[in-house]
A = this chain, B = another copy of it.
Amino acid sequence: MAETRRLTLEALERLTHGVLAASGFDADHAEAIGRVINAAQRDACHSHGVYRLLGMASAVREGLARGDVAPEVIDHASAIVKVDARFGFSPLAFERGLPALIEKTRRQGIAAMAINRCFHFTALWPEVERIAAEGLVGIAMTPSHAWVAPHGGSRGLFGTNPLAFSWPRPHAEPYVFDFATSAIARGDIELHRRAGKPLEPGWAVDSAGRPTLDPQAALDGAMLSFGGHKGSALATMIELLAGPLIDDMTSLESQRFDHGRGAAPCHGELILTLDPQAFLGVSLEAAQTRAEALFAEIVAQGARLPSERRRAARRQAITEGAVEIPAALVEELEALRSGQG
């Protein structure tokens, strides 16, 4: 276990903002990014916490991404809002488009928000949680880079293509899931390689498309979708909906756009929102009771609701007023903040 450092939530916030300010992000972007990065760190989602600041800072430093552009919100159609992130990061674009998305959803019953030309480093669950806080159902998806082979294929084509969903609950935190359609995270393959550990079956194929347990062969080959041909079909759907449908790049195009810099996935994101009030009217409360019965039965069987581990970490962080972060990472971030990164 690596050495960790304990940061109060206030210190965490100061660190995040300091790094972003020193890296060329304006106050609006720093606020929006800080909210989701710190929420992930607080929820012990280390892969989407302050660690991501390193990639964000370097993407701006290298002139790939912009930290100081205002996203442009476009009222595109009765039930569609578009946000042009103008090669900035996704969190501010999401926040700027959200009021119009909520308004359209309440008026029409269902609506869509397309975020274009955004660099995407953050988890999707903070977005669908935010939507659930408005009493709406949220579905969010993005492509990434072409690391995942289609079922039966041999080369990377799909991204890890996450899908997130939220269902608002009147007297509880929303039902939320957020999963990659790849069998495993890219970083986990790298960790296995470093540890000299074999992969698990179903994670990857080598460059000839043969199943492999060898991490290096997997990195030279391609990852696989979860759930065989069904996961592969879902990944395809996400490529199409959060790519061509919204006039943005597929994972393969996004990877080519990156020109091998291995920096930042730049692409689009699609968010769908549905208003239970609009669908249900006076039946809303009965429907909520019906949904609660479903959750109660899942729990009664000893099965877990998604996000439970994350919420437990959140409660602990809030109770303690602090989080634990790998010491080396904190040092790296502190150096960035002081302009020595």
Residues of A within 8 A of B (CB): 76-80, 107-112, 114, 137, 149-155, 157, 165, 167, 175, 177, 179, 181, 209, 226-234, 236-237, 239-241, 243-247, 249-250, 252-253, 272, 274, 276, 278-280, 283, 286-288, 290-291, 293-294, 297-298, 301-304, 306
A249 to B306, CA, bound (A): 22
CB <8 Å contact, B301 and A244: no
A214 to B115, CA, bound (A): 49
Query: What is the chain B residue whose CB lies nearest that of A304?
Result: B152
A114 to B247, CA, bound (A): 28
Q: Can you pick out 19 interface pairs between chain A and chain B where the beta carbons lie within 8 Å of each other?
A: A77-B108, A77-B109, A79-B110, A80-B109, A109-B112, A110-B111, A110-B112, A114-B279, A149-B301, A175-B240, A177-B236, A179-B229, A179-B230, A244-B290, A245-B280, A245-B287, A247-B287, A250-B294, A252-B294
Q: What residues of B have a CB within 8 angstroms of the CB of A297 in the complex?
A: 155, 157, 252
Given the known A-B contacts A229-B306, A231-B227, are A112 and B274 also in contact in the complex, defined by CB atoms under 8 Å?
yes
Q: What residues of B have a CB within 8 angstroms of the CB of A153 in the complex?
A: 298, 301-303
Q: Of B76, B227, B237, B298, which is within 8 A of A150 by CB? A: B298
CB <8 Å contact, B274 and A241: yes
CB <8 Å contact, A303 and B152: yes
Given the known A-B contacts A79-B79, A298-B157, are A279 and B137 also in contact in the complex, defined by CB atoms under 8 Å?
no
Q: Of B167, B209, B232, which is within 8 A of A240 by CB? A: B167
Query: What is the chain B residue whose CB lies nearest that of A150?
Result: B303
Query: What is the chain B residue whose CB lies nearest that of A79?
Result: B108
CB <8 Å contact, A109 and B76: yes
CB <8 Å contact, A294 and B245: no
Query: What is the chain B residue whose CB lies nearest that of A237?
Result: B165
Q: What residues of B have a CB within 8 angstroms of the CB of A291 in the complex?
A: 240, 243-244
Given the known A-B contacts A157-B301, A298-B236, A301-B153, are A250 and B110 also in contact in the complex, defined by CB atoms under 8 Å?
no
Q: What residues of B have a CB within 8 angstroms of the CB of A226 in the complex?
A: 227-228, 230-231
Given the known A-B contacts A278-B77, A278-B80, A280-B247, are A137 and B241 also in contact in the complex, defined by CB atoms under 8 Å?
yes
CB <8 Å contact, B233 and A306: yes
CB <8 Å contact, B244 and A288: yes
A244 to B295, CA, bound (A): 12
